[in-house]
Structure 1
């Protein structure tokens, strides 16, 4: 059994990003910029935003966090996003989810300029990703694909079971795997007999937020298991959606929690921000030619 070490790979990617930032600054006079919108005081969201800001700083990316109260109006958020869309120093904009119930999440995500949508949640980028065209890909599924690539795991022709169908993880994960020529089964809360689907899979990707959802008897011998779930137990310990201790005995590869997909998410966000900065430079050059 081999551990899919997302921490090691993310550190490698972050160093590459840092080098690219320095290159952009020296050759083009551009410092990539990322703006994060944080609404409310959810501790998990605040912790994620803090990690993203720290990673940006280490890579040399300019980062700003717009903290807003839970009670802020949707119109006010839209106003701030419009301002950031026009700001030439901001290459990437991301809104930390979930948003308060009185805010229409779709309306907010659609208000981000597609060329600054480094989270890849705008319908424009989702559509292009589905068609296999150049786009911004959501960071978590993007990170999973990079992790598989790092360990020479080619999904082509393999039976893959994606457990979870959220717009943030499950659906884009299924799309990327389908684009990589895998045979994909997407399971969700209405799926009957989940075990029947996971037992047949060469690769299982699970991200629903349920402790020990995937148990040893649901996994075939030699399967590859990618645990995207994050759950905090009462004792404070972080675990995924997979019964790691027992499932790992049957796997050929498995990602741990923490240290698997989590670090990759932040690394790929940095990659998307660099990409946005390069596309900005390209657009400006064409205007000046």
Structure 2
């Protein structure tokens, strides 16, 4: 019987556990505050930001919504980031990606104060992660760790394959899985677009994390019996639906489910965890900045 992991339920548990931390901060006169900066008129980006703000409000985190004209000069965004860096009441800063073409996204990441970088993408925070002393773990890989723990999937001694090498998911995911720490100690293979015989790699794995951004690229024929499959992909494909499309993962769910011992669906798997871990990082940031000890779950 395959365990279809309910990411919404795990995310709800994380949010519930944050309640005590937020109460501890409140007793010290601190309200965790996340500033979201949107410099885009892309409907998907607008939706993502709106959902993140709603999540904040539900758990007691203050959300600040800043919207910039996508045609504004890049300096407008950098000046906004500087103002937020200098504001002691703002604990976390999230600039919704992608930014317009005339804005250097890497410069954006470097501009955010590393103490307020709740995405965990500033070079300083990336370095700390690789060194095994993470300040803020990137939200999606950290969410995957929480999902694996909730499903009682043992990573220690496991053979794990991460398909994808992005800075956002693939690279930090591999680092977290092989580190000498809880939720790690796996033997990790990172696969990508140049990998020869991908099926041989995934077929030998105990855990497969699919994060390549290619719709349904992994199917049941590429997996071993009883494998744990974590599908990070969210791809919009044409479909005969009211919207004209549907969301699918990087894994062909039905054929993979027939092989897997545990699997995450799309939607409803890793996605809710990414948002929950953003709240986690914002609460952690507030505690670090105010020097208040919060017992994070």
TM-score by length of 2: 0.92
* Residue 106 (structure 1) aligns with: 106
8 Å CA contact 1:22–1:60 kept in 2: the answer is: no
Q: For 1:233, what is the secondary structure of its paired residue? A: strand
For residues 1-289 of structure 1, the aligned pairs below 5 Å read: 1-25=2-26, 27-179=27-179, 180-235=184-239, 236-282=245-291
Q: How far 1:156 moved relative to its partner? A: 1.3
**Equivalent pairs, count:** 282
CA distance in 2, matches of 1:72, 1:162: 38
**Gap regions ≥5 residues in structure 2:** 240-244, 293-297
Query: Structure 1 runs of 4+ off > 3 angstroms?
Result: none
TM-score by length of 1: 0.95
CA distance in 1, matches of 2:187, 2:21: 35
8 Å CA contact 1:225–1:253 kept in 2: the answer is: yes
Q: How far 1:134 moved relative to its partner? A: 3.4
CA distance in 2, matches of 1:145, 1:184: 14
CA distance in 1, matches of 2:167, 2:145: 17
CA distance in 2, matches of 1:9, 1:241: 21
